[in-house]
Chain A
Amino acid sequence: MADDAPAVIAEGLTKTFGAFTAVDRLDLTIAKGEVMGFIGPNGSGKSTTIRMLCGLLRPTAGRAVVAGFNVGREPEAVRAHIGYMSQKFSLYGDLTVRENLRFFGGLYLVPRRDMVERTRTAVSMAGLEGREDALVRTLAGGWKQRLALGCAILHRPPVLFLDEPTSGVEPEARRRFWELIHRLASEGVTILVSTHYMEEAEYCNRIALINAGRLVAVGSPGVLRRRELGGVLFELECAAAGAALLALRQAPGVIDAAIFGDKLHVLLHDAAVAAELQPYLARQGIESTPPRAIPPSLEDVFVQLVQRPREARAAA
């Protein structure tokens, strides 16, 4: 693999299960040492894509090159150069921490002289010092996830695929996990990590937004926020959120409106329109706070991007 060659290349990657298209002509390139966030709702095709890149699922169409090896033709070479953490926790619960590490070290043919040092690193990374002989099924979620990561990188793979590693893990443990990801990236490891937590996307160098099997946007969080929204974003608070939402979508100068928690986000063509929103709602008997300009979050971008093709379809 040439030094500047991308670590992961996917071209037209497609997977259908019967009539259902899980992943639809996905193109993706990940540079070496990059942390690529794979963002999308449940069932959008994140896991299917990652499994195809690991050689666990056969693509219906398209091809992928990982760590310089063609996934379809050299699946074993790919497996030797990647680490993978599946969505479901998949270490052996009836083995101890040490036994799990020893097992995966054995499968990856980690030299015996390196094994002591790497086991120690993995144990300290997971924060499991002193619990090396505990059965893994007795560990809490965060420890399990960090140990699974430790097992996946025992052979020091240049490419790492992490499928929703932080789902179901408490916030503090999630933060620690992301620190580990960044430490690995700083050592030159390329990482594709999927999540459905939007705020985690901010930790990535670049993110790929996927919805209904299609890649809707790729870019750094900053670029996506600026470029993809296509307007200026305002926020207002309102008791009758449902009625206000419908009213705002009809209002002149409004591109879109969406509910975010207890607030409404309104996307406008022009900031000048903002001043007219409160009176407009008042005329319809809806009370609200004055709109306030806010920086867009990735969630705003995502909602906007996902809506566009849906409206295009509705129009057609």
Chain B
Amino acid sequence: MNLGRLYAIAFKETLQVWRDPRSLAIALLMPLMQMTLLGYGVSLDIRRVGLCIYDQEKSQISRELVERFTASDWFRISAKLSDEPAVRDAMNRGDCIGIVTIPINFSRTLAATGTAQVQTVFDATDVNTTNIATGYAQGIVGMVTADFESQWAASHGLLPQTVGVVDLEPRVWFNEGLDSRNFIIPGVVAVVLGLVGAQLTSLTVSREWERGTMEQLISTPVTALEVMVGKLIPYFAIGLFDATFCLCTAAFWFEVPFRGSLLTLTVTTALFTLVVLGIGYLVSVRIRSQLGASQVALVLTMMPITLLSGFTFPIDQMPRAIQAVTLVIHARYYITILRSIFLKGSTLADLTVPILALVLYAVVIGWLAARAFHKRLD
């Protein structure tokens, strides 16, 4: 590899990117747009979900229960119903996704036995939201009954401990607020980098074919490796700039707690950027039109990264065969790395396995791309 030729290629490529509105837009606007869309759009939390209350009892305790639902940030009471048909109508009209029915003998049963049942009915067409909403509803009911239990125990002259109520006190580590945003946003960074990086380099070789400059380029003594490395240098700089932007947005705008070291973050991010650029470059070498290369790069990265990287669907809950497929999804490793660095403060040593996976990935992609570049027209 000759440094003079490497510099010539890198400098020329920089000028071209700088003068190409399409490349600049991909480099600068795409990360901004995607961080905003995905950062705000994808959330596993529920917020002010519509709920109908059918309070058959209307006692002090039942009202207290309703009050708890009203006070929570997760639900809003869209209607208070008074009879059975109204319940069905409300659900059918889509006024609410769930109905909480407090039975007529609620407080009496509670007073007599220390436990009582509340019926909740949820519209399960949106399974995800329903699952989460059910969990939160159970939580609220649980808190009310727990309060009442201790009152009940006291009123019966017993100390709560001696009643034998099992007091489960869950402790959550790393994401204490159980805020799904802290979990999602590092994933968003990986998705955005994965998409933008591959788009950036997908144009670089196909542009030469499309404009006819390739024939002149390959008639010179430049080597395939010089072309690859030289072309990747400016995009690597852009990629790192984009990565910095995305990571800063995650840490300062979305306020994901950052507990790791900058060194670990820089090393792993540079590595992932390299892999992503390499994939785009490989596509560009194989496909000789800019539009085609850009489309292929999009399809190759979009689906796997959003669906199979663990970004939205946890990998350990996928069928075994699909789990095996995720092993070749580069973003999977970076998402793991980012979540660990941000939330757990993991070090390079902790992350040896995913880092080695990315190194292997980079080597294989680089080798394939260098091999795919021929200095011939046939």
Contact = CB atoms under 8 A, between A and B. Distances in A.
Contacts of A219: none
Interface string B350-378: 00000000000000000000000001111
Given A75-B375, A92-B16, A94-B19, A56 B218 contact: yes
A226 interface: no
A305 interface: no
Interface residues of B, number: 29
B220 A107 contact: yes
A168 to B, nearest CB: 14
A102 B215 contact: no
A65 B19 CA distance: 41
A82 B11 CA distance: 24
A74 to B, nearest CB: 11
Contacts of B377: 51, 56-57
A126 to B, nearest CB: 16
Interface in B183-227: 211-223
Contact of A90 (B5, B16, B19, B215): B215
A76 interface: yes
Nearest to A75: B375
A79 B213 contact: no
A295 interface: no
Interface centre among B218, B220, B375, B377 (most CB of A within 10 A): B220
A103 B12 contact: yes
A62 interface: no
A108 B217 CA distance: 11
Interface string B231-247: 00000000000000000
B15 interface: yes
B151 to A, nearest CB: 78
A92 B213 contact: yes
A228 interface: no
Interface of B: 2, 4-5, 7-9, 11-12, 15-16, 19-20, 211-223, 375-378
Given A54-B219, A84-B216, 9 more contacts: A56-B377, A58-B376, A58-B378, A76-B223, A79-B219, A82-B219, A90-B215, A107-B5, A108-B221
Interface of A: 51, 54-58, 75-76, 79-80, 82, 84, 86, 88-95, 99, 102-109, 151
16 contacts: A51-B377, A56-B218, A56-B377, A57-B378, A84-B216, A88-B212, A90-B212, A90-B215, A91-B213, A92-B16, A92-B213, A93-B211, A94-B19, A107-B8, A108-B221, A109-B2
